[in-house]
Structure 1
Amino acid sequence: MITLLRSTLFSLIFYPGSLLLVLVALIVGQFSPPALRWVSTLWGWFHRYCARWLLGQKVVIEGDLPLGPYLYIVKHESMFETIDMLCVFDRPVIAAKRELFDIPLWGTIADRYGLIPIERTAGASAMRTLRTQAKAANAAGRAVCIFPEGTRVPHGEAPPLRAGFAGLYTLLGLPVVPIALNSGLVSPKGSFLKKAGVITYKVGEVVPAGLDRREAEARVHAAINALNPPSALMD
């Protein structure tokens, strides 16, 4: 019952508040890209505080998170981390499914903010676009974040990385910072109910640039699933 009440209160406060911030971002984004990014960051922290004080979800980061010209690869279990990246990093550029840019209002802001759309069926042309935008983001001092599984997966599952990761790793020539998390334990995919608990980001060892693609992929896959039950990597 407490979980239901908390989840309901979260929905009643977070989503109307988000709509207000989306409208503000649409207005300021026409005149000032920095102001739009500031509002976007505010939205991320609004979400973080709603999760903390309404849902009882605390965020913990294990390990040192290096900042600089890296490619950040993040486990994807919940909607939580898609928004919380705005708190973890400064003005991050996130590669997102192209379909998300078709969402009314939000898609316009995502485009102006500088998110990178991924067209899964576009092949080599999509990779070239992704490389160009990712390099531009790095040059501007913005973190580039990828969810390599392509969609949210239940906690405990460890699907193979999508082929795009290896291609992007080779094209960008950047070291990789893999990040595991367990958000699916408290905010599972497709569930209205969000539980109280601790959401942990576990920063893995940096994977250097220039490795064999299979070795890089294996290292990243193991690192982003480090918070899964030990049996998950053996499935």
Structure 2
Amino acid sequence: MNRLRTLLFSILFYGLSVPIVLSVPVSALFGRAAVVRHAHVWALMHRMLYRRVMGIRVRVEGVVPPGTYFFAAKHQAMFETLELQLLLGGPAMVIKRELSKLPFWGWAAMQYGGIVADREASAGALRSMMREAKALKAEGRSILIYPEGTRVSPGEQPPLQSGFAGLYRALGMPVIPVALDTGIVWPKQGAKRPGVVTIRLGEVIPAGLPREHIEARVHAAINTLDRG
């Protein structure tokens, strides 16, 4: 049954995603705010399908206070890349360089507010990432990063990538860590399954802490739901 649910979800999600993504240029004519609203239509479609087809529900613990923040989230599935856009009010998002180069989708992501991270972590790439993030902050956007650098399975807790501390220092924004357990119902491989996903918004961490302190606090906070 779960395999059939997963197949139906995939057919509907990717089939509906094509016209949504291809129509981004129309929204882009009206500015970035219109592109963000457009992206939220995609995320709402995803939410409708995971609820009705997959039988997945989301439990949110905590609230986002008013203001702009540097969100640092655990990454276990594609699920949160869309769901967090809705829950966190449309933050700009740090994405891998290879994703930014995908035909059409990469362009659409940059119109939304993508901040390109390079796995090589060269000085030039880090400076470029910081410039992009500061420009989006100046637009009044919050910033979202997956600081472990990649999607991981439940139980995996890799160290934070260096780009997180660099952005934290450059942006001077308070951090809200986001823990989640999406990998339990949305594994890297195999069928997805019904269940309840928990997304936990941690306490606000102030700007200006030493690197070792902010990394330790964020790493601990985003792994509070790890049940691997």
TM-score normalized with structure 1 length: 0.91
Q: Which residue of 2 aligns with 1:194?
A: 192
- Asked if the contact 1:176–1:209 (Cα under 8 Å) also holds between the matched residues in 2, the reply is yes
Deviations 1:82-103 (A, max 9, x none): 1212211223200000100111
- Asked if the contact 1:26–1:105 (Cα under 8 Å) also holds between the matched residues in 2, the reply is no
Query: CA–CA distance in 1 between the matches of 2:75 and 2:213?
Result: 21
Pairing of 1:1-235 with structure 2 (within 5 A): 2-30=1-29, 32-189=31-188, 191-229=189-227
Q: Which stretch of the first structure deviates more once superposed, 103-112 or 73-82? A: 103-112
Query: CA–CA distance in 2 between the matches of 1:129 and 1:68?
Result: 25
Q: Which amino acid aligns with 1:142?
A: R
* Percent identity of paired positions between Structure 1 and Structure 2: 45
Residue 165 of structure 1: how far off its partner (Å): 1.2
What SS does the aligned partner of 2:200 have? strand
Summarize the Cα distance change of 1:33–1:212 in structure 2 as closer, same or farther, 3 Å threshold.
closer
Deviations 1:111-132 (A, max 9, x none): 2222111123252222222222
Residue 80 of structure 1: how far off its partner (Å): 0.5
Residue 159 of structure 1: how far off its partner (Å): 0.9
- Asked if the contact 1:74–1:224 (Cα under 8 Å) also holds between the matched residues in 2, the reply is yes
Query: CA–CA distance in 2 between the matches of 1:142 and 1:31?
Result: 17
Q: Which stretch of the first structure deviates more once superposed, 162-171 or 53-62? A: 162-171
What SS does the aligned partner of 1:55 have? coil
Q: Which amino acid aligns with 2:206?
A: P
Structure 1 unaligned runs (5+)? Answer: none
Summarize the Cα distance change of 1:122–1:216 in structure 2 as closer, same or farther, 3 Å threshold.
closer
Query: CA–CA distance in 2 between the matches of 1:8 and 1:122?
Result: 37
Residue 32 of structure 1: how far off its partner (Å): 4.3
Instruction: Give the alignment's Cα RMSD to 1 decimal.
Output: 1.6
Residue 203 of structure 1: how far off its partner (Å): 1.2
Query: CA–CA distance in 2 between the matches of 1:69 and 1:38?
Result: 18
What SS does the aligned partner of 2:53 have? helix
Q: Which amino acid aligns with 1:70?
A: Y
Q: Which stretch of the first structure deviates more once superposed, 59-68 or 2-11? A: 59-68
Q: Which stretch of the first structure deviates more once superposed, 40-49 or 57-66? A: 57-66
Deviations 1:107-161 (A, max 9, x none): 1111222211112325222222222222222232222000011110001211111
What SS does the aligned partner of 1:159 have? coil
Q: Which amino acid aligns with 2:196?
A: V
- Asked if the contact 1:90–1:142 (Cα under 8 Å) also holds between the matched residues in 2, the reply is no
Residue 44 of structure 1: how far off its partner (Å): 0.8
Query: CA–CA distance in 1 between the matches of 2:201 and 2:220?
Result: 12
Query: CA–CA distance in 2 between the matches of 1:32 and 1:165?
Result: 28
Structure 2 unaligned runs (5+)? Answer: none
Q: Which stretch of the first structure deviates more once superposed, 70-79 or 114-123? A: 114-123
TM-score normalized with structure 2 length: 0.93
Query: CA–CA distance in 1 between the matches of 2:129 and 2:69?
Result: 15
Residue 199 of structure 1: how far off its partner (Å): 1.1
